[in-house]
C-alpha cells in the first residue's frame, strides 16, 4: 500500500486539472474510463485531481504527442510503474545488504579481538605440531 504524500492530496476540480495538464475535461473523463488516471471523489461524487494525477496526465500527453496510442500509453505507464517498484526494492535490498555487511564486519572484528590473546608468535622456520600424538601399539 502506498503512503499518502502531499502530491497525492486531491486538490483540483476537473476544469483546473484539465487546464494544468493542457487537455480538455472530456479527455480527462476518457482517460479515467480507460483507467489511465483515477481521481478521487468527494462525498458529492465530484472528481478531485492531485498533483500526481496532473503529472501523470502530462506524461500521458507527452507519450501521445510522441505517437503512442492509448494502448501503448497504458503499457508503457505500467512498465514505468513496475520499474519504479523494482528500483524501490533494489534500494531496500541494498540497504539491508549494507547493514548485514556492517554487522558481519563488526562480528569478524570482535572475533579477531577475542582470539588475539590466544595467538602466540613463533619464530620463522619453527615447526609446531598441533593435534594429538599418535600412540604406537
pLDDT tens column, 79-95: 999 999 999 999 999 99
Helix, strand and coil content of the chain, in percent to the nearest 5, comes to: 60, 5, 35
Q: What range defines the domain where residue 27 resides?
A: 1-67
Looking at 67, 82, 104, the residue that finishes a domain is 67
How many structural domains are present in the chain? 2
Same domain, 7 and 55: yes
Same domain, 41 and 88: no
CB 25 within 8 Å of CB 10: no
Q: Is residue 132 part of a domain?
A: no
Same domain, 111 and 51: no
* 68: its cell numbers: 503512442
CA distance 6 to 84: 19
What is the tens place of the pLDDT at every residue in 30-55?
A: 999 999 999 999 899 999 999 999 99
Same domain, 19 and 60: yes
pTM over 0.75: no
Amino acid at each position: 500500500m502506498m503512503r499518502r504524500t502531499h502530491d497525492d492530496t486531491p486538490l483540483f476540480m476537473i476544469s483546473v486539472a484539465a487546464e494544468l495538464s493542457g487537455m480538455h475535461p472530456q479527455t480527462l473523463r476518457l482517460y479515467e474510463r480507460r483507467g489511465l488516471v483515477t481521481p478521487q471523489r468527494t462525498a458529492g461524487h465530484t472528481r478531485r485531481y492531485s498533483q500526481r494525477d496532473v503529472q501523470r496526465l502530462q506524461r500521458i500527453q507527452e507519450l501521445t504527442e510522441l505517437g503512442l496510442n492509448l494502448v501503448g500509453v497504458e503499457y508503457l505507464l505500467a512498465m514505468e510503474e513496475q520499474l519504479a517498484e523494482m528500483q524501490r526494492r533494489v534500494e531496500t535490498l541494498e540497504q539491508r545488504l549494507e547493514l548485514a555487511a556492517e554487522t558481519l564486519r563488526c562480528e569478524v572484528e570482535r572475533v579477531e579481538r577475542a582470539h588475539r590473546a590466544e595467538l602466540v608468535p613463533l619464530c620463522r622456520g619453527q615447526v609446531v605440531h598441533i593435534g594429538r600424538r599418535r600412540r604406537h601399539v
